[in-house]
Chain A
Amino acid sequence: MRFKRLWAIFNARNREFFRDREAFGWNFLFPFLIILGFGVIFKGDYKSQFKVGVFPIPHGVSVHQSVDNLPDSFAAFKAISFVGFETRIQGMDKLKHHKIDLLIEAGTKPVRYWVSDSSPSGAIVERLLKGALAPPDTGSRFEKKDIQGLQIRYIDWLFPGVLGMNMMFSALYGVGWVVVRYRKNGVLKRLKATPLTAFEYLSAQLLSRIFLLMFTLVIVWVGSDLILHFRIYGRLMDLLIVFLAGSACMTALGLVIASRGTSEEFTNGVLNFICWPMMFLSEVWFSIEGAPAWLKASAKIFPLTHLLTAARKVMNEGSGLITVMPEIAVLCAMTMGFLIIGAVAFSWNK
């Protein structure tokens, strides 16, 4: 292996990335906008989870003034937002289409309501309503305790997920799709005609993408932190090591996809097939705690799962490198596996 050749391709790829202004800008803007958007949405302490329709609410009248037949514990519950309708037909239409979870007729006693049997949210709101209407439980069967110590905001939990997701898209598309395009338009064939070896070429791609991912990560992190002030309970260096391992693994997976093929459309399909399940099962947006065991087990085949588990342990729980070593070891093992598969399967022109 000649370092001079590897360095030449590494530089060429980096220059391409930094000069492709649209792609370059989007790489920073995409995660930043998502984080900013969620930061704004979840800025309050609470989010309305359920929607309850109320009728008849004449035009211009506040819906809250018309729910006096409902107990305060229900009407003032922050998890519920009320939507007014002038007629029952309008409300029923929204209920049938699951736009609202429950429909109440204002001013009725006993409270008259409609709920869809096929709506899980409707069943929950119905239970909340019945609980609020029932006589108070005088017994002390419950004792509320506050969470002790650190409280993690949703945005702090989400942030590593969005960074990981951006890393995933950038690594898979930036390597997988780009190399397939190079193969299709003959750039790889031209490189094959030189003394450059496949190993040198793939190593240069890998190093270039890791460099670009880490560069993007730092910029997005600093930019987002200036606005949302993330809380990192672990060491920043440990977090960087976790993301470095993750970016190497994602890029190596991209090289597997890039190893063969000349159809950009097919590659796009393969990338979507990998990215979407990985994004949802790796807990980018929400936890899959409580999902069937087989689903949780299958999520472990994705590198993003291990990356986010480790990143959240460090960022949200203050864990050290030793604690997240199993995840890092899995990422390293996956990286090696993907690199071997990619190198063996790689073809310049097939």
Chain B
Amino acid sequence: MRPLLEIIDIEKYYKRLCAVNGVSLTITRGSCFGLLGPNGAGKTTLIEIIEDIISPTSGTILYKGESRAAQFRQEVGIMFQQTALFSFLTVAETLETFSRLYDSTETVGHLIQLCHLDEVKNQLNDRISGGQKQRLLLALALVNRPQLVFLDEPSTGLDPQARRNLWDIVKTVKSQGRTIVLTTHYMEEAEKLCDDIVIMDRGRIIARGAPQDLIRTHCKRATLSVPKDRFPEKIDGLQGFSRERGDRIQIRTENVTAIIEQLLSHGVDMRGVDVKTPTLEDVFLKLTGRSLRE
């Protein structure tokens, strides 16, 4: 089946600054596609080019195999990173206003229920909390029953509880078979929601794959941390690299099971032993030398 979106050799220059540098990728139907990268990586520029909000300097974007036409706007839902809304409209009125801009729409009542906005539906947009506003923006992105949903850092600035609430809604949307394009700073968010991830840095794609594949490919080693006073003086044939860190010994290994067996065979008390498996953040650090939030 042909991909829903084909992005071919996109470049975007702001005067001499290259924000997106020859990016090509495809997004399949029904997937949740994640775009990761630090601030200034070019991910918002790329996503806004795909959304047809800004024009690329060069390159082609195909939606369902064709250039994006007026119908594209009818079929996509967009949640921008930062958006103000009409200050003096209520949540329900805002949804009604936006629903009138499309040919085919979800009922306002259903959106209010889906995005847990029942308590605030009659409140003015300016009087709702940050989490409620993000849920309203998500509801607006879903108002036209979109086949393709863009979520640009949807949970930025939310507290952990509000973030998890938002993830639950995104999971529901995903379960309905819609295609989601998500940009985020949060690795946990990407790991929980995305099937396919692209890591961008300095306008280029530097890695692509499923979250676990990326970790397996780029960060094979886990880290075991054992209290120093419980670590045997000598272990023959330790299958990993060990070093002292304060009052603990850290062992980096590709085979956690083998190390644990060796420790057990030397009678090490396993209480207090930590195992840290690599994350996408480790992948990013390894690939770019920069933290995701830099």
Contacts and interface: CB of A to CB of B under 8 A. Distances in A.
Interface in B88-106: 88-89, 93, 96-98, 100-103
B100 A16 contact: no
B149 to A, nearest CB: 11
A16 B53 contact: no
B6 interface: no
A16 B86 CA distance: 7
Contacts of B103: 195
Given A192-B53, A193-B53, A349-B53, A12 B101 contact: no
A11 B100 CA distance: 11
B84 A186 contact: yes
A187 B70 CA distance: 20
Interface stretch (B7-15, B73-81, B108-116, B162-170): B73-81
A196 to B, nearest CB: 5
A189 B85 contact: no
A196 B70 CA distance: 10
B134 to A, nearest CB: 14
A189 B89 contact: no
Nearest to A9: B97
B82 interface: yes
Interface residues of B, number: 28
B83 interface: yes
A187 B102 contact: no
Contacts of A191: 101
A7 interface: yes
Interface in A333-349: 349
Given A11-B97, A16-B88, A190 B74 contact: no
Interface centre among B76, B82, B98, B101 (most CB of A within 10 A): B101
Interface in B15-60: 51, 53-54
Contact of B70 (A5, A9, A182, A195): A195
A138 interface: no
B88 A20 contact: yes
Interface size class of A (residues with CB under 8 A): 20 to 34
Nearest to B99: A8
Contact of A195 (B54, B84, B101): B101
Interface string A237-258: 0000000000000000000000
B86 A12 contact: yes
Nearest to B137: A190
Interface string A56-85: 000000000000000000000000000000
Interface string B122-153: 00100000000000000010001000000000
Contacts of A187: 83-86
Contacts of A12: 86, 89, 93, 97
A19 interface: yes
A19 B83 contact: no
A49 interface: no
B255 interface: no
B175 interface: no
Interface in B184-220: none
Nearest to B102: A195
Nearest to A194: B101
A8 B83 contact: no
A9 B99 CA distance: 11
A218 B70 CA distance: 41
A151 to B, nearest CB: 46
Interface of A: 4-5, 7-9, 11-12, 15-16, 19-20, 182, 185-187, 189-196, 349
Given A8-B98, A349-B54, 6 more contacts: A5-B100, A9-B97, A16-B89, A19-B124, A186-B82, A190-B80
